[in-house]
Amino acid sequence: MFIELHAQSAFTFLEGAELPEMLVEEAVRLDMPAIALVDRDGVYGAPRLYRAAVRAGVKAIVGSELTLDDGSRLPLLVEDSEGYRNLSRALTRLKMSAPKGEGRITLDDLAPYATASRPARDHLRPFELFRRGPAASPARS
Of the chain, the percentage scoring pLDDT greater than 70 comes to 79
C-alpha 1/C-alpha 27 separation (Å) is: 12
Binning pLDDT at 50, 70 and 90, where does residue 126 land?
low
Interval 125-129 mean pLDDT: 48
pLDDT at 108 over 60: yes
For 58-94, what is each residue's pLDDT tens digit? 999 999 999 999 999 999 888 888 888 889 999 999 9
pLDDT at 138 over 80: no
- For residues 57 and 13, which has the higher predicted lDDT (pLDDT)? 57
pLDDT given for residue 79 in this prediction = 84
The pLDDT-based confidence of 110 (bands split at 50, 70, 90) is: confident
- Compute and round to an integer the Cα radius of gyration of the chain: 15
Tally the C-alpha atoms within 13 A of residue 107's C-alpha that lie toward its C-beta.
15
| Residue 81 confidence (pLDDT) | 85
Burial grade of 128 (CB within 10 A; 0-12, 13-18, 19 or more): middle
Nearest-10 Cα torsion for 113, 8, 10, 109: 20
Model pLDDT, residue 14: 82
Which pTM was predicted?
Answer: 0.80
